[in-house]
Structure formats: C-alpha cells, structure tokens
Chains A and B, each alone.
Chain A
Amino acid sequence: MKKVLSYFNKITIYIKDSFRRMVSAVKTDAMYRRFVYLFVGLNVILLLSELDIMNYSTVSLYAYIIIFTIVALGLNILLGFSGLMSLGTAGFVGFGAYGVVYFETLGFPYEISSLITIVIATFIGLAVGLFSLKVEGVYLAISTLAVGEIFSQIFKRVTWFTNAYGGVHYKYPTLLGFIELDRNMTYIFLSFVMVVMMVVMYHLTKSKTGRALLAMSRSNSSAQAMGVSISKYRLFSFVVAILYATIGGILYASFYRYVQPLDWNLMLTLLILAMVVVGGMKSIFGTFLGVFIIYGIPKLYLEDLFSSVSGVAYLFSGILIIVVVMFYPYGMIHVTHDIKKLYNKYKIHKQNKLKAGDGDE
C-alpha cells in the first residue's frame, strides 16, 4: 500500500513538474497558445448560449464535435503517423460509452469506472495490435472491420452489459465523489479533456516516439535499420488509437447520458475516417477542423437549408472527401498555409512594385 502511495506521489510530482514547464513554455511555443485559445473559444460558445445569443442546442452540437475530435485524433495517430488502418473505431467508442455506465452501475465512482473501461480497452487494443503484426494493408482493415462488427453485435445482444435495444441511461459525472457536474460543467470538462488529449498527442508526435511512428509508416526496413522496433510501435499506435476512442466514448456517455446500440456502426467509423482525411493527416487542429466540417457544418447549416432532402450531410462529406483527396491531400488545414503563402506573395509583389517605382525616380 505504501509503495502504491509513493508511486502515486511520484506521478503527481511528475505531472505538476510537467505542467509547470508547459506553462512557462506558453510564451515560446505557439502550439500551447493555440490550445489555450481553442479551450477559451469553445467555452465562449457556452457563454453565448447562456446569454441566449446562441441556441441551447448548439452547445450539445459542440460537445459532439469535442468528443469526436478526441476519437479522430486517435485515428489520426494510427493512420496519419503510423500508416495503419482501422475500421473498428466506432466499436471502441461504443465500448467506452457502455463501459463507464456499466461499471458505475456496479457501484464504482466515475473515475474508477472510466479507469476500468480504459484498462480493458488497452488489453483489447493490445490484442488487436498483436494481431496486426500478422496482417497487412487491406487485410488489416478488414480484420478491424470484423472487430467493430463483433462490438456492434455485443451492443445489440449482450443484455446485462448494454440492455440491448433499450439502451442504457446515465447521469452527468460526479468528480472525486463530491463535485457534481451539471450540463455546462460537463461541457467545460469535455473541452478540458479534449485539450489535454491534444497536448498529449502534440507531445507524443513531436518526440522520439512520433518520429519512430513516421519512420515506420514510410518504410519498414529503413525504420528497422535505424533500430525502430516495428512490433512495439505498431502495438503502441493501436493501443493509443483505441484509448482515444474509448475516452471519447466515456465522454459521450457523460454528456448525452444515454447510449443506444445502433449508433456504433461502420457508417460512424467512416465518418470519423472522413474527419481525419478532410481535416488533415498528422494535424491536431486539422482534426478538429475536420470534425467541424464533416459533422458541424451539415448540422449547423446544411440540414436547415435542405431539410427536405434527407442524407444531404452524407452527400456533403462524400463530395468533400473526393475533393480533398484530389486537390488537398494534406487536408483542409493546409488551406490556411496556402492563404498565408498567397498573402506573402502578394506582399512581396507589392514591395517589388514599390522598389521598381523607386528606381524610376
């Protein structure tokens, strides 16, 4: 017991230390600043809705965007960095959602239920990762599809876990056993977790680990020659992707307080995939943008405009994917880069003109 406590102590010191250094790095690292802006921006939406400037339901929509940004970030690590494919994402989101509800009905507090769910997901992730060592490419995609399908059958049939078609009800989380969150607090909590997950991804990908993943995805043999263990990093990326998906699921249950079996299907997985591809592979803010484009724009604007046409959202994302893959293979986030480039060009052009004018005199 003492050992556990001392270990726990160490971790807290570690986190504190890490946090201190991050705060001091905010001045020098623009990424940290952007994380802060995003957090503030998301909560301004909450404020606007409280002031009745925005719809009450808009918050709920942004909660969805937050949750699926987390999920898509995980898939982005797997797809964008490690070059691996998974079609089981939705299954793991569903597992996270059902898991936290189930373990809380067993009497565990919110944090412990989440932790148990995460630990189980890690083991499943390890199993999937181990399996992935044996199969490549399309076959890997198909096998993960099967994993997703198994989950979706479990959600429909294993009554003690999911209450089958009835679904399960939940409540807003109670943190540390006494901080009872309401809807708005839960939303803030969600946006906080999302930013933390973004920071984790930022740190991971800009490290030896991230470089190893990239090396592996570009060429197995070249990575091996540099001492990168393919099996280790494959396992790692599957576990990370599945953890992100599971955490997304836990947050889904925490905010929407109702989980039903039919939501976690291949369609959702493909939408998450579209979010990653459209937003931008390897890009953290691109992923957020991708989720906003694929989910937010249809819900916010298109569905009102085209309420008579059903499925317009899917049509929209379908067309977008084709356009992005053809013209913007690095994702929509690069539009900003291009605009910047154009602007710089324009500036240089103007300067040259000025100079030429000087010469004339």
Chain B
Amino acid sequence: MSDNTNKSYVLKPGTLLDIQNLSMRFGGLTAVNNLSFDIKENEIFGLIGPNGAGKTTVFNCITQFYKDKDGIIIFNNKKNEIINLNDIHVEKIIKEGLVRTFQNVELIKDLSVIDNLLIGAHTLFKSDFIGHIFRSKRASEEETFYKAKALEILKFMKIDYLKDQYVAGQPYGILKKIGIARTLMSNPKLIILDEPAAGLNETETTELSKLMIQIKENYKCSILLVEHDMGFVMGVCDRICAINFGKFLALGTPDYIKRHPDVQEAYLGRDDE
C-alpha cells in the first residue's frame, strides 16, 4: 500500500484485463461484491446476469466512472505496459486502448454519421485549437486522414452510404452500429459493449453476431459485452462470466455456463416472476 505510485503489476501472458476483488457500494447497496474475472487477448467475453445484477456497474468501474471502489483492475495497455486502471482518469481511459458504448446509445444527433465517428478519434488528433482556428495544413491533413479512416470503418460495417446523413432520425439498429463503429476509431485493444443487441430484431441480431466476430478478427481486439439475449451471447462469446446480486456465479465456455446449476437457478428464478 505504501509504494502505491511505483507499484508494478503482473498479468499472465495472453491476458488483457484482470479484475481482482472488485466491490462497489451505493450507500447500503452492494452492487458489485468481490468480483474477479479476466479477459484474454482476442477474446469475446460475455458478462451476464439478471436485471440489476451489477453488470453496468462493473463497466462503469472498469472505465473509471466510479471512483470509490475496492479491488484492482489490471490492464495491458496500448504500449504493452501493465497498468492498474484505477490510476487512470476516466477521460484518459480511451488512450490506454479501452473504449466503451453505453446502454442507451449516446450519439450526437445533430452531427453527421461520419462526424460522430470522428469523435471516437478525439484523442488521436494531434492538432490544437490554434491549428483549428487557422485550419493549418497539419490540421486539415489530419481531418482528411481520419475521415478516410472513418469511411473505411463505415464500409466495413456496410453503412457507408449513410456517412453524410444526420444521426437524428436513423433507426435504432443503425444507431447501435454507429456506436460500435465509433469505438473502432480509437484503435482499441478492448471494446466494452453494454447490451449491443437490445432493441434489435432477429435479422439485425444475427448480423450483429457476425459483426462481433469480424471485429475481433479484423481489428485484433477483445470484446467485453453485456447482453440479455442468451442466444446471442451463447453464439458469439468465447467465455462467459455469470453474476447475480453483484456476486460471481460461474465462469467458462457457453456450454459450461448453460449447464451450471447456479446460473440456471438465477435465471429460472427470474422466469418465475
């Protein structure tokens, strides 16, 4: 505890994120209770649990929206340094190679699709506001460069025909896609998705499953996702961690989780309601 500043952390080779003994309390309510799990490199990892289980809270802890929490969150960042995310300010998390979406898509409605993507590259821009005021050579080159990159991502997601349209008025499925496209702008090592399939119809969900795997392969990153659609989760995830009331239930392959008695109980209990 004393040498907090120069503490060096370790990660097993091949591990990207290691959450150790994470707890988070809201007043008397323990939303996350001594939870531990790890995510490997190039893995799609699912975090499941009934409503109010604490999944979003876990996400907010990892991405440092909550400060007063217990436990450590070790991450192998973009520079291949092993760091504790708790030492990083919430606004700097994306620089380390970790980017997230929100449960309710948070896009800028009165900007075009491509401009929304450019916000995802905010930290990659090197020009400052003086450069912007004069629209310096460097600033405009940068703008062109990242626009091309955004277009490439939109093409990859097959929504490039929308690039100059406003986000406002787009159907929900498209908004979700734009949200995911935006995360890809920052060259992430880990993408955190909060309920990516919520509100999507069946075809859209199937498409999303394919997209998840394509992202993992093309962009060489890991994905951590929360989702209630069990078909989707079981189909797309390499490993799954189930929690209930903030507590760890089980961790393993989709088959293992499906058969696990504690998980079945947690979900059946909910079905009875």
Which residues in A have some Cβ–Cβ distance to B below 8 Å?
Answer: 14-15, 17-18, 21-22, 200, 203-204, 207-212, 214-215, 218-219, 221-230, 236, 282
B135 touching A21 by the CB < 8 A rule? yes
Nearest CB on A from B179, distance (A): 9
Instruction: Give the residues in chain B near A221, CB-CB below 8 Å.
Output: 65, 102, 106
A22 touching B135 by the CB < 8 A rule? yes
Instruction: Give the residues in chain A near B182, CB-CB below 8 Å.
Output: 226
Q: List 16 A-B contacts (CB under 8 A).
A: A18-B135, A207-B127, A208-B118, A210-B132, A211-B115, A211-B118, A219-B106, A222-B106, A224-B90, A224-B91, A225-B90, A226-B94, A226-B119, A226-B120, A227-B93, A227-B186
Q: Which of A18, A209, A218, A223 contacts B136 (CB 8 A)?
A: A18
Q: Which of A22, A227, A282 contacts B122 (CB 8 A)?
A: A227
B108 touching A218 by the CB < 8 A rule? yes
B132 touching A203 by the CB < 8 A rule? yes
Nearest CB on B from A227, distance (A): 4
Instruction: Give the residues in chain B near A17, CB-CB below 8 Å.
Output: 136-137
Given A208-B122, A221-B65, A227-B91, are A203 and B133 neighbors across the interface (CB < 8 Å)? yes
Nearest CB on B from A196, distance (A): 10
B99 on the interface (CB 8 Å rule)? yes
Number of interface residues of B (CB under 8 A): 37
Encoded as 1 (CB less than 8 Å from any A CB) or 0, chain B from 154 to 194 comes to 00000000000000000000000000001000100000000
Q: Which of A22, A209, A219 contacts B132 (CB 8 A)?
A: A209
B110 touching A214 by the CB < 8 A rule? yes
* C-alpha gap A18/B133 in the complex (Å): 9
Which residues in B have some Cβ–Cβ distance to A below 8 Å?
Answer: 63, 65, 90-95, 99-100, 102, 106-111, 115, 118-120, 122-123, 125, 127, 129, 132-137, 139-140, 143, 182, 186
Instruction: Give the residues in chain B near A211, CB-CB below 8 Å.
Output: 108, 111, 115, 118-119, 122
| Chain A contact residues: helix, strand, loop or mixed | helix
| Chain B contact residues: helix, strand, loop or mixed | helix
Nearest CB on B from A32, distance (A): 11
Q: Which of A21, A227, A230 contacts B123 (CB 8 A)?
A: A227
Instruction: Give the residues in chain B near A225, CB-CB below 8 Å.
Output: 63, 90, 93-94, 99-100, 102
Apart from A208-B125, A227-B92, A227-B122, list 4 A-B contacts with CB within 8 A.
Answer: A208-B143, A211-B111, A214-B108, A228-B91
* C-alpha gap A335/B123 in the complex (Å): 37
Instruction: Give the residues in chain B near A18, CB-CB below 8 Å.
Output: 134-136
Nearest CB on B from A83, distance (A): 11
Nearest CB on A from B76, distance (A): 19
Nearest CB on A from B90, distance (A): 5
Instruction: Give the residues in chain B near A229, CB-CB below 8 Å.
Output: 91
Nearest CB on A from B146, distance (A): 9
Nearest CB on A from B108, distance (A): 5
Q: Which residue of B lies closest to A211 (CB)?
A: B119
Q: Which of B92, B93, B122 contacts A212 (CB 8 A)?
A: B122
Instruction: Give the residues in chain A near B127, CB-CB below 8 Å.
Output: 207-208
Nearest CB on A from B264, distance (A): 34
Nearest CB on A from B19, distance (A): 18
Given A221-B65, A226-B120, A227-B94, are A208 and B134 neighbors across the interface (CB < 8 Å)? no
A227 touching B95 by the CB < 8 A rule? yes
* C-alpha gap A157/B13 in the complex (Å): 71
* C-alpha gap A233/B170 in the complex (Å): 28
Q: Which residue of B lies closest to A281 (CB)?
A: B110
Instruction: Give the residues in chain A near B137, CB-CB below 8 Å.
Output: 17, 21
Nearest CB on B from A180, distance (A): 30
B106 touching A218 by the CB < 8 A rule? yes
A222 touching B132 by the CB < 8 A rule? no
Nearest CB on B from A323, distance (A): 21
Instruction: Give the residues in chain A near B111, CB-CB below 8 Å.
Output: 211, 214
* C-alpha gap A46/B186 in the complex (Å): 51
Q: Which residue of B lies closest to A229 (CB)?
A: B91
